[in-house]
Structure 1
Amino acid sequence: MLLIVIFYLWVAILFYVLFAGADFGAGIIELVTSKKNSSKTQRTMYKAIGPIWEANHMWLIITIVILFVGFPKIYSVMSVHLHIPLTIMLFGIIARGTAFTFRHYDAVQDEMQPIYTRIFELSSFITPLFLGIIAGSTVSGHIDPNAKTFADAYIFTWLNWFSIAIGFFTVAICGFLAAIYLIGETVSHQEKLRFIRKAKLMNIAAVASGAFVFIAAYADNIPLFTWIFGNVVGISALTLATISLMFLWYFLYKGKTIILRILAGFQVVMILGATTYRHFPNIVLLRNGSYLSLLEHSGHERTINALAWALLIGSVFILPALFYLIYSFQVETKAKLKSD
């Protein structure tokens, strides 16, 4: 049962990166779009993600619930020592959703609309930035359970080169996923070409920020190179990600929407697999050399059993409804785009 809970935790994190990441990335794409094309991007982005963006946070809620119920010690360490980036991330989610809603549904169109747009764009950047910072901090070895000062306990746990590098890498990945997704949500050939160019630029940014992650890891004495290249799984995952990247660039020129989305998702899976396999099941690496493990620091067996059954039964009802929701709104979105 514990392995079932861990599986759902990993899937929830993966789906949040893929689906919510594409939502965040839509705001990032809008942020780097010229004023001339801004209204077109907003219209396409709104019709593509507008009806379902709220549902994507379900994966974050599932992740938090699994950690809180099934792994209370891990949850408490992360929520205490990383409470500052967690709070900033949550404020980003709230600000983004509020600005998105007021921008499109406000009864009065006035001078506040540009302010809503700017809040939406900046929070779309800040939220994945701190999501990546939190992820990097858990394995950076900077969390010190015996810290004596406020800065050591709550600032330098996340304010370090490696965590920041992971944050910018996450931003680039979100922008890349959004551009790939939006390619298939346009009917105009000119618009499709514009999002293809955005996807290329974001892919280059992801590769560059990925290189920065390795440099930052070396500067912070984090054995990232060993984690990835010190085992067959890591090498294989990175090799497959590189090969799929070449195919992705080829299909970008062809404009094959479904294949592009599959390849982009596959790359994210390979990256997560390559970086987490070596230290799994240790989800939090601490400064004193110890760790918090999903296998060793889980909750009571009865709690884990109940949580596993809840996840299994809940997924039977929730997942089909969720994917049908996504499918139905995709059909409606394409019909609206064609009518425009």
Structure 2
Amino acid sequence: MDLATLWFWIVAFLFVGYFVLDGFDFGVGMSLPFLGKDDVSRRQVINTIGPIWDLNETWVIVAGACLFASFPEWYATLFSGFYLPLLVILLALILRGVSFEYRHQREDAAWKARFDRMIVIGSAVPAFSWGVAFGNIVQGVALNADHTYVGGVFGLLNPYALLVGVTTLLLFFLHGVCFVALKTDGRVHEDARKLIARAALPTVLAAAGTVVWTIALAAQRDAPLLWLVVTAGALAAVCLVSLVVLSLRGSDGRAFFAGVITVMLSVVMLFATLFPFVMPSTIDPAVNSLTIANASSTPYTLQIMSWTALVALPLVLAYQAWTYWIFRKRVTRRSIEAAPAHA
């Protein structure tokens, strides 16, 4: 495996980490209208991710930086062609982060309600938009001979990309509700379990449609990793069903773990479908497409990045694991009631 291919999979690994970790963050935020029956329960839901949401979000910064350094052509084409959708994602993430910090600055119920709505919007918009973006990347977009996207904003709103967006929205929602069920007690805990059961069917249906369509897309493209696409897609489907079954049986930890594996395998399926391209072109694919080979940095740059990643990545993973261990306990209703109202 050459360094360019290695870095393709490192970028994939970083997006796996981002969608697994920030994915359930999005789900927790979207669950507020369903689980936050009063201010105490809303604080209980938000506090499940209070110590970790910003740490989870840094994965997309690292992924973007590595994409810029390892595949500058891919980065340039992606951010110029998808400028408006990515700007919307950025604004939504800013809105969500500000809302987490500002909602408790006043005791006024209307003030808190406005920021709670912003948390929901700031979670739902990226959850859907990331799916649309990756759906377009995997399916291919209108790139000309200069590797410039010429399809326009509405060209990104095609059926496959929209289906992937709906799937990521529902999957992250289910993933987040599983996390709430794992981390809370009392009424919020029970309501989360019930919500998992209600959200299961639409999520499974959307995910099944995405898996079948993606496998068909990979087969049509004669993807060299078709076996991995099929395997990852099938296992993701099994894990998603297992999540629902385990939740119904009261195994919150195992259900959440099944959600983690589902998201991981889903991202692997998308990257395996994409390989060896990084952005296929729908205009003369053989000439205009960006591939791992023609979009990567120089071997010297990739070599320096590889040594840096070898040192830095284990430290990042260790710190992330330590943080989750420190904040592993449930967020109980009693602890929220005993804490100051601004906590």
TM-score normalised by L of structure 1: 0.86
Instruction: List aligned pairs for 1:1-340, cutoff 5 A.
Output: 1-31=3-33, 33=34, 37-39=37-39, 41-104=41-104, 106-107=105-106, 109=108, 111-145=110-144, 152-188=150-186, 190-211=187-208, 213=210, 223=217, 226=220, 231-288=226-283, 289-290=285-286, 291-331=289-329, 333=331, 337=335
- Aligned partners of 2:208 and 2:237 also within 8 Å: no
- 58-67 or 179-188: which moved more? 179-188
Which contiguous aligned blocks of 4+ residues in structure 1 show a shift greater than 6 angstroms? 214-218, 227-230
- Aligned partners of 1:161 and 1:216 also within 8 Å: no
Query: How far, CA to CA, are the matches of 1:83 and 1:257 in structure 2?
Result: 39
Note closer, same or farther for the CA distance 1:247–1:129 as it changes in structure 2 (3 Å cut).
closer
SS in 2 for 1:114: helix
Note closer, same or farther for the CA distance 1:171–1:242 as it changes in structure 2 (3 Å cut).
closer
Unaligned runs of 5+ in 1: none
Query: How far, CA to CA, are the matches of 2:176 and 2:222 in structure 1?
Result: 26
- Aligned partners of 2:138 and 2:271 also within 8 Å: no
Note closer, same or farther for the CA distance 1:3–1:41 as it changes in structure 2 (3 Å cut).
farther
Query: How far, CA to CA, are the matches of 2:314 and 2:214 in structure 1?
Result: 41
- Aligned partners of 1:228 and 1:274 also within 8 Å: no
Query: How far, CA to CA, are the matches of 1:110 and 1:247 in structure 2?
Result: 39
SS in 1 for 2:279: strand
- Aligned partners of 2:41 and 2:333 also within 8 Å: no
- Residues paired across the two proteins, number: 331
Note closer, same or farther for the CA distance 1:232–1:45 as it changes in structure 2 (3 Å cut).
same
Query: How far, CA to CA, are the matches of 1:69 and 1:14 in structure 2?
Result: 19
Two-structure CA RMSD over aligned residues (Å): 3.0
- Aligned partners of 1:5 and 1:307 also within 8 Å: no
Note closer, same or farther for the CA distance 1:138–1:235 as it changes in structure 2 (3 Å cut).
closer
Sequence identity of aligned pairs in percent?
18
Residue identity opposite 1:191 in structure 2: V
- 154-163 or 280-289: which moved more? 154-163
- Aligned partners of 2:131 and 2:165 also within 8 Å: yes
Q: How far 1:245 sits from its partner (Å)? A: 3.5
Residue identity opposite 2:174 in structure 1: F
Query: How far, CA to CA, are the matches of 2:242 and 2:211 in structure 1?
Result: 24
For residues 110-141 of structure 1, what are the alpha-carbon distances to aligned partners after superposition, in whole Å with 9 as ceiling and x for unaligned? 63222111111112111111111111111232
TM-score normalised by L of structure 2: 0.85
For residues 13-42 of structure 1, what are the alpha-carbon distances to aligned partners after superposition, in whole Å with 9 as ceiling and x for unaligned? 0111111011111111114x177x253542
SS in 1 for 2:264: helix
